[in-house]
Structure 1
Amino acid sequence: MFADRAKIYIKSGKGGDGHVSFRREKYVPNGGPDGGDGGDGGSVILQVDDGLNTLTDFRHIRKYSAQNGEEGGKKNCRGKNGQDLIIKIPYGTVVKEAESGKVIVDMSGDNRRVTLLNGGKGGKGNQHYATSTMQVPKYAQPGQPAKEFELLLELKVIADVGLVGFPNVGKSTFLARVTNARPKIANYHFTTLNPNLGVVDLDDAKGFVIADIPGLIEGASEGVGLGYEFLRHIERTKVLIHIVDAASTEERDPIEDIYAINKELNAYNPEIAMRPQVIAANKIDMLYENEVLTKIKDEFEPKGIKVFPISAISGQGVRELLYHVNNLLEQLDDKPIIFEQEYFPEFHLADNEPYTVSYNEKDNEYVVEGPRIEKMLGYTNLESEKGFTFFQNFLKENGILAELEQLGIQEGDTVRMYGLAFDYYK
């Protein structure tokens, strides 16, 4: 089954902790610190694989984690770096942050390999903390934590021209005639459930890539049927060929069909509805009078939309249509449509974990809580002077001391953090 949308969870590797150790050699009773640094955690990398054309694999495996860095060792031995995780995706995949839906990267154009999450840096061993006043440091720096979040992957086909129209108007037949694509063709609704791509080769012209977008129905922009699944594939196309059944073989009014489809395009994305359109009035081999064609031309050509009577089966009128479309494309920017970045993972994930500062009237103490505080307490040696100073600076730089003062804390008051109690002094 064709899959063009998937949600996955990714996590970079945690940095290895720095090591605490001291030289223990014969005849060297008071050896200095020799704890090694931790290794860096692995990064999460996205890479285009031209052999992939669906996101099916991501429906079976949803969690992806890079390797953690190893802890430092004795004798200044540095921990081994964690292996990077390379996730292979199809060309044309738009990567979004799942909750906000904002674009992180569009894996199109020159974006073929992108580091999405950097692994945590390894912590420094205690060898780095020896000073003239503290020659036996008993603490080391912890490795930076892993970073994680959910991604939404959306595959949007790369094509210059999109075929739109109701089911059974002859889009697949048209694509099969003008390109080397071989779409499945049958007389029932939603025959085409996958976007089909083909290359149009023209004599003395550049040619272009064309996509048969599965048949739209009214309400598609609201998700009726498979609306959203189909409409996203039109977003990159620069010109739309709107195919209608001029012979009304299913007793549909072609003019009403054109307005209905344009209404869905506008509701989904007004920018798409503003792109150049060409109307292909198909099935003229089954048309016994030209009155319908005249009505279609009178309705749309005054609005700047050219109408071409064609037969996708016999090929009548197709050549003229293709050269007109090619001329339209030559007037437009030839750069591919690439979605701009809206979400920056490293910025959003940095230091954004919440904390709370409150006053417990019952116990007459101030309470500071939150994931960031808990992590800091977990890897800081508060028994050392340097470690305690480091923790105080953390509280100051993150505005926690300022919030305590706003609550009215006085010197000598108690501050509690996850079971640890401190006396407050400026």
Structure 2
Amino acid sequence: MKFVDSASIVIAAGDGGNGCVSFRREKFVPKGGPDGGDGGRGGHVWLKTNRQLTTLLDFKYKKKYIADRGVHGQGARKTGRDGADIVIQVPCGTLVRNAETQEVIADLTGEEQEFLIARGGKGGKGNQHFATPTRQAPRFAEPGQKGEALVLDLELKLMADVGLVGFPNAGKSTLISVISAAKPKIADYPFTTLVPNLGIVRYEEYKSFVMADIPGIIEGASEGRGLGLQFLRHIERTKILAVLVSADSPDITAEYKTLLGELEKFDEGLLNKPRIAVITKMDIASEDLEIPLLEEGVKVLPISSVSGHGLKELKDELWKEVSARERSAEPSEEGLGNDAAG
């Protein structure tokens, strides 16, 4: 399936039905009072997350979503039927902006999360509502209100626990293919990975976490060089970053600093995430290679995805960091009680 992480769509909620002008007409009641019914509400437009979706591809083919209008009111005080709502399915991690103002309307990260994006217009009142002692036969009713309409920009930021960052050919795709069920394209040339890949990493018997592999970053990615800038958004939601540098790099320390520099230029907040430095391809490292201390307080783990060296230690460390972030994000019991009361 083709990966698409941005799209623009037009949505319009349904208009409300018009109120009805009608008077009772029954045998032996020659001058019945007004009995015009109300119009039905126009259909709403909802967004709902679907964990089975991983791309915005569908929105490249269908760009307009228009809900039904409400049915007009009828005589005998009959209210028109409400217009049918539309529910638009989007992937978890979809950011929704008003295309005109670029204001963020919603950030949909939860599973089966629903958001009312456009309200249908209210139905108009029938003439029965406008009768007064001095105006007993009103010959007018209220029109239905217009439904809300707007153009949306959708942006997908993948939901993952661990984000892999590195230069092209740093071994990210090989790593994710070995420790998860993901099957990315792997080859010995730059930019083999052209789209983000997600993999579920099984840990011990009943535990797991999600890892994201994005296309390789090159120096200048934050200014638009290469593919890195286009996909860096997909590591903004990750709990941890694993910064990969190949053991055959001519200068491991300089490459590591360059990667951090590109992350900082794109979004300074990325450097606030916990990170682990990973030296890959130890199976082809020179015998005299010394693993440098790249950054104070950051663990450096040498691995080989080919031989399996260091992979258990890497999974142990990643799980420890992921579970620590999950515990810190859990709401307190006091907070849960306040939410329930509200």
On whether the aligned pair clears a TM of 0.5, the verdict is: yes
> How far, CA to CA, are the matches of 2:328 and 2:212 in structure 1?
17
Shift of 1:332: 2.1
> How far, CA to CA, are the matches of 2:329 and 2:103 in structure 1?
20
Which residue in 1 is equivalent to 2:271? 273
Change (3 A) 1:25 1:124: same
Matched, 1:47 2:40: no
Matched, 1:311 2:311: no
Which residue in 2 is equivalent to 1:90? 91
Which residue in 2 is equivalent to 1:255? 253
Which residue in 1 is equivalent to 2:211? 210
Which residue in 1 is equivalent to 2:242? 241
Shift of 1:331: 2.6
> How far, CA to CA, are the matches of 2:311 and 2:27 in structure 1?
91
- Residues 22-421 of structure 1 mapped to structure 2, 5 A cutoff: 22-109=23-110, 112-203=113-204, 206-248=207-249, 252-291=250-289, 293-294=290-291, 296-297=292-293, 300-301=294-295, 303-334=296-327
Change (3 A) 1:60 1:110: closer
The letter of the residue matching 1:168 is N
> How far, CA to CA, are the matches of 1:121 and 1:169 in structure 2?
58
Q: Are the aligned partners of 2:118 and 2:147 in contact in 1 as well (CA < 8 Å)?
A: no
Structure 1 residue ranges, 4+ long, deviating more than 4 angstroms after superposition:
334-337
Which residue in 2 is equivalent to 1:364? none
Shift of 1:60: 1.1
Secondary structure at the residue paired with 1:209? strand
Secondary structure at the residue paired with 1:332? helix
Q: Are the aligned partners of 2:49 and 2:108 in contact in 1 as well (CA < 8 Å)?
A: yes
Q: Are the aligned partners of 2:216 and 2:227 in contact in 1 as well (CA < 8 Å)?
A: no
1:339-361, CA deviations, whole angstroms, 9 ceiling, x for partnerless residues?
Answer: xxxxxxxxxxxxxxxxxxxxxxx
Which residue in 2 is equivalent to 1:400? none
1:31-74, CA deviations, whole angstroms, 9 ceiling, x for partnerless residues?
Answer: 21121100110000112233322110101111111111111122
1:213-235, CA deviations, whole angstroms, 9 ceiling, x for partnerless residues?
Answer: 22112232233333343111101
Shift of 1:258: 1.6
Change (3 A) 1:33 1:335: farther
The letter of the residue matching 1:86 is V
Identity %: 48
> How far, CA to CA, are the matches of 1:121 and 1:189 in structure 2?
57
Which residue in 2 is equivalent to 1:411? none
> How far, CA to CA, are the matches of 1:334 and 1:266 in structure 2?
26
Change (3 A) 1:334 1:59: farther
Secondary structure at the residue paired with 1:17? coil
Structure 2 unaligned regions, length at least 5: 331-342
> How far, CA to CA, are the matches of 2:71 and 2:328 in structure 1?
45
1:290-348, CA deviations, whole angstroms, 9 ceiling, x for partnerless residues?
Answer: 34x34x32xx24x21111111121111221122122222233234779xxxxxxxxxxx
> How far, CA to CA, are the matches of 1:268 and 1:99 in structure 2?
24
Alpha-carbon RMSD: 2.1
Q: Are the aligned partners of 1:109 and 1:336 in contact in 2 as well (CA < 8 Å)?
A: no
Change (3 A) 1:309 1:205: farther
Shift of 1:239: 0.8
Shift of 1:106: 2.5
Structure 1 length as normaliser, TM-score? 0.73
The letter of the residue matching 1:253 is D
> How far, CA to CA, are the matches of 1:101 and 1:333 in structure 2?
31
Which residue in 2 is equivalent to 1:415? none
Change (3 A) 1:166 1:184: same
The letter of the residue matching 2:20 is H
Change (3 A) 1:287 1:202: same
Shift of 1:145: 1.1
Structure 2 length as normaliser, TM-score? 0.89
The letter of the residue matching 2:263 is L
Shift of 1:135: 0.5
> How far, CA to CA, are the matches of 1:186 and 1:5 in structure 2?
27
How many pairs does the alignment contain? 329
Q: Are the aligned partners of 1:124 and 1:142 in contact in 2 as well (CA < 8 Å)?
A: yes
> How far, CA to CA, are the matches of 1:305 and 1:335 in structure 2?
20
Secondary structure at the residue paired with 1:45? strand
> How far, CA to CA, are the matches of 1:134 and 1:55 in structure 2?
56
1:103-144, CA deviations, whole angstroms, 9 ceiling, x for partnerless residues?
Answer: 322322255222222211111100111010110112212212
Q: Are the aligned partners of 2:51 and 2:112 in contact in 1 as well (CA < 8 Å)?
A: no
Q: Are the aligned partners of 1:4 and 1:229 in contact in 2 as well (CA < 8 Å)?
A: no
Q: Are the aligned partners of 2:24 and 2:76 in contact in 1 as well (CA < 8 Å)?
A: yes
Change (3 A) 1:203 1:51: closer
